[in-house]
Amino acid sequence: MTSSGLQCRFRDSKTTGVNGCVLDTVGPVGSSSVRHFHYRKLNMFASVPQRTIRQDYRSNEDSADDDFTVMPLGLRLLRYSGLWGDPQRKRSFVFMLLGTILLLIVPKVVLGTGSDSFDSFARSTAEFIFCYNNYLMMAIFAVQRKPFEQLIVAVQQLFDKHRARPTPTSALVVTVNRQIMRYSRLYVIVQGVYFLIFNLLPPVVTYHAYFTTSSNATNVTFLLPVESRFYFMDIRHSIVDYTIFTIVACPAFLFTAYLTVLKGLVFIGIIMYNTLQYQLVSSHVQDLTTHYRTDPALYRRQLTEIVNQHSVATNCTKLLDSVLSLILLVQFTNTVLMCCLFLFYISKNINSGAINVLLLFLALTVENFCFSYFGTKLTEENQAVGGTVYSIPWYKSSPSLQKQLQQMMRHAHKPRGITVGKFYIVDVSSFGQLIKMIFSYYLILKELF
């Protein structure tokens, strides 16, 4: 086939299950006209060959992390649970999950709290929902892991291109990736401090009260990290049983904290990477103006690459929402229940026992704010692509190129982002509505009890 009759068709192979875009360019390579351009339904990521994914697993494990490695800390922690890397490692996650349920959930459900007060019931219920929320969210993620794998592969392929062929936008990739790493380390440190206070404060207060009481130590009420009974043991009055419970329950608390860290690093991290994809598109569009007059052929070629890159970004957003929509529905629903119960307990019990409850409340609030804040950034960067395209001299382009740019603007102005169960897009305003709802239910509880 000669170059005059060459048909260039940018299309992914038969792989994926997400709506995307196809760019058909029919005409001589290097000609001044592009005759056909249209968006159509396309499979871009799904069915990424399992061999490719396994190779990515091995390359991530064997190679050293650098500025072009996607989510190194988050994926490393995720690999320990068996939810990333070798699929056979899932058994370790199931084993840890079942052990934690036996130590924390079963005693709460079967034995109760050992107290008849509604305050105790409210705290125990909120703690149960907190644990159940973490376990259920990660279980959903384990079942729906395939879209997440496709997301990581797509972003890593983008990073590999910048590693192999540095461009002016590679500096943006490095900067954002380093920001994500700093955020990840800070998040781990904050959650680690929460975990230490949560586990060390009750024993310190209890042992101090027990050993400094000279007359009758049996009258000392032990401070528990969670409101619960523990099978046949008297953990409220026997120092031996209390010590055994503190030691045995510590791994369960650690596993729950580990899942909390995973949610923050993995789910919020992948939102930030998808946001970066739109930022790169906007940056590339701005660079188009430098080649419009000097090199029209390069201008058209770069425009084709930008359209494809924007298509990949929008498809990644759809994959991201398919991973997070049900997870966020569980998260936001349970947050309302947990936080109103936590607030009720704290308002009725201003003492050292309320500190653990306050820590859980803060962890939930910060986590939901991060989802809302970075969800807003994702939506804004998607919309910014349309504004950036409009700001370049698109009206001076040929009609066929104008059509391509119009398609980009049309897709950019369609609201995109992460949703709560496909009902509404997660943003800062939705976080404000969540806080209002929590406070409303808290006031109702306060009036009733």
Sketch the domain layout of the chain as residue ranges: 3-448
Q: How many residues does the chain have?
A: 449
Q: Report residue 348: phi and psi, to 5°.
A: -95, -15
Which element (helix H / strand E) includes 7? strand 7-10
Instruction: Give CA–CA dist 430/302, Å, rounded.
Output: 38
Q: Which residues in the chain land under pLDDT 70?
A: 1-65, 214-218, 289-295, 396
Contacts of 182 (CB under 8 A, 6+ apart): none
Which element (helix H / strand E) includes 26? strand 23-26
pLDDT score at 48? 45
Instruction: Give CA–CA dist 432/189, Å, rounded.
Output: 26
Give percent helix, percent strand, percent coil of the chain, each to the nearest 5.
Answer: 70, 5, 25
b/e per residue 74-97 (b: at least 16 CB within 10 A): bbebbbebbbbbeeeeeeebeebb
Contacts of 98 (CB under 8 A, 6+ apart): none
pLDDT score at 324? 94
Asked if residues 290 and 393 have their Cβ atoms less than 8 Å apart, the reply is no
pLDDT score at 214? 58
b/e per residue 33-70 (b: at least 16 CB within 10 A): ebeebebeebbbbbebeeeebeebbeebeeeeeebbbb
Contacts of 325 (CB under 8 A, 6+ apart): 418, 419, 420, 421, 422
pLDDT score at 292? 61
Instruction: Give CA–CA dist 65/73, Å, rounded.
Output: 9
pLDDT score at 212? 85
Which pair of tokens denotes residue 41? Answer: 């339904």
Which pair of tokens denotes residue 212? Answer: 């400094």
What residue type is assigned to position 415 of the chain? P
Instruction: Give CA–CA dist 416/429, Å, rounded.
Output: 15
pLDDT, tens digit, for every residue of 202-218? Answer: 999 999 888 887 565 56
